[in-house]
């Protein structure tokens, strides 16, 4: 296999894990499925993924096409592939519509939230396949993650959260055996700028030996505010504790509640790229296939 074959294989595994996490996680927003969550039973039918997988597919397509993030091209892909029915946040819905109508993504992203830029979890949620693409190249993963984030999310917290997820995926993708969760956190933190996300990840590292997911989610957050800082530390905690076990990683994450499709997308995208971390075949079959354009260079 060539180096690019390896990159492609890792990115595909991560995107598939991300999509399964997103699709199954989003099932549990349906009140009728609450009981299934408590009992860990799978909802029937076809599970449809949401904006997390749709935008992650654009990130993957960028890497397949260019080998790195070209921000203009990524912005164009997000806008072209924008699918209103996939549950995007209102700010991104509006922004991508304006980009399609000829708006400048740089200005539009910077203007969000009274000029502070978005600190939402929408950039971390789509970046795991990028980290997987740069398996073992944590510095490149961090650098390219930042470029991928600021196309829509310019706030420091969103950038920090995106870097954290990408570096975690990069390190997990390069691993050949079980990783020590605490050491993984230490390696990730080296790349994350000072921020609430950084502090949250440190706190998450201190809670690695806590078994009660409810307590951990109460301290770290689990995406209820849909911010990077109340999403990424918890997602890293759930992923690091369950490397090599997609099933346990998923149920642990989903059980906390919050922004379930996104926390499960991040966890799925990280865990699926490590040894033994693929989703069960039955889960894969329930999940809508990935879009064909994700792994063919964007036209």
CA–CA separation, 269 vs 286, rounded Å? 17
Nearer to Mg ion, 56 or 192 (CB): 56
Nearest distance, CB of residue 102 and Mg ion, angstroms: 27
d(CA 190, CA 195): 12
What's the min distance (Å) between Cβ of 51 and Mg ion?
4
Q: Which residues bind Mg ion (CB under 5 A)?
A: 50-52, 87, 261
**Contact, 261 vs 50, CB < 8 A?**
yes
CB of 265 to Mg ion, least distance (A): 7
CA angle, 98 then 99 then 102, to 5°? 90
**Is 22 annotated to bind ligand?**
no
Known binding residue 284? Answer is no
Is 261 flagged in the annotation as binding? yes
DSSP string, 224-276: TT-BSTTTHHHHHHHHHHTTT-HHHHHHHHHHT-SSHHHHHHHHHHHHTTSTT
Residue nearest Mg ion, CB atom distance = 50
List beta partners, residue 120.
227
CB closer to Mg ion out of 51 and 157 = 51
Q: How many other CB atoms are there within 10 angstroms of residue 186's CB atom?
A: 13
Give 65 or 89: the residue with its C-beta nearer to Mg ion.
Answer: 89
CB of 6 or CB of 48, closer to Mg ion: 48
Cβ 9 to Mg ion, closest distance in Å? 25
In the annotated binding site for Mg(2+), the residues are: 50-52, 259, 261-262
In the annotated binding site, the residues are: 50-52, 259, 261-262
């Amino acid at each position: 296999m060539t180096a690019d074959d390896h990159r492609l294989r890792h990115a595909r595994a991560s995107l598939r894990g991300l999509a399964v996490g997103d699709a199954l996680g989003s099932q549990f927003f349906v009140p009728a499925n609450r009981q299934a969550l408590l009992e860990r039973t799978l909802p029937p039918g076809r599970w449809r993924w949401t904006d997390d997988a749709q935008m992650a597919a654009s990130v993957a397509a960028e890497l397949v096409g260019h080998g790195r993030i070209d921000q203009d091209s990524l912005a164009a892909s997000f806008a072209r592939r924008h699918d209103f029915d996939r549950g995007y946040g209102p700010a991104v819905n509006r922004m991508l519509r304006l980009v399609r109508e000829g708006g400048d993504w740089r200005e539009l992203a910077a203007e969000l939230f009274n000029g502070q830029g978005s600190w939402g979890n929408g950039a971390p949620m789509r970046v795991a396949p990028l980290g997987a693409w740069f398996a073992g190249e944590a510095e490149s993963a961090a650098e390219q993650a930042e470029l991928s984030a600021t196309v829509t999310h310019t706030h420091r917290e969103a950038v920090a959260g995106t870097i954290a997820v990408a570096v975690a995926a990069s390190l997990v993708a390069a691993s050949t055996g079980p990783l020590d969760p605490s050491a993984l956190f230490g390696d990730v933190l080296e790349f994350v700028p000072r921020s609430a996300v950084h502090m949250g990840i440190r706190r998450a590292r201190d809670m690695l030996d806590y078994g009660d997911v409810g307590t951990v989610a109460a301290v770290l957050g689990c995406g209820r505010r849909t911010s990077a800082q109340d999403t990424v530390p918890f997602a890293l905690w759930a992923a690091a504790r369950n490397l090599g076990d997609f099933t346990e990683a998923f149920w642990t994450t989903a059980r906390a509640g919050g922004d379930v499709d996104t926390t499960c997308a991040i966890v799925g995208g990280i865990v699926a790229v490590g040894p033994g971390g693929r989703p069960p075949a039955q889960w894969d079959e329930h999940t809508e296939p990935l879009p064909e354009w994700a792994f063919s260079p964007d036209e």
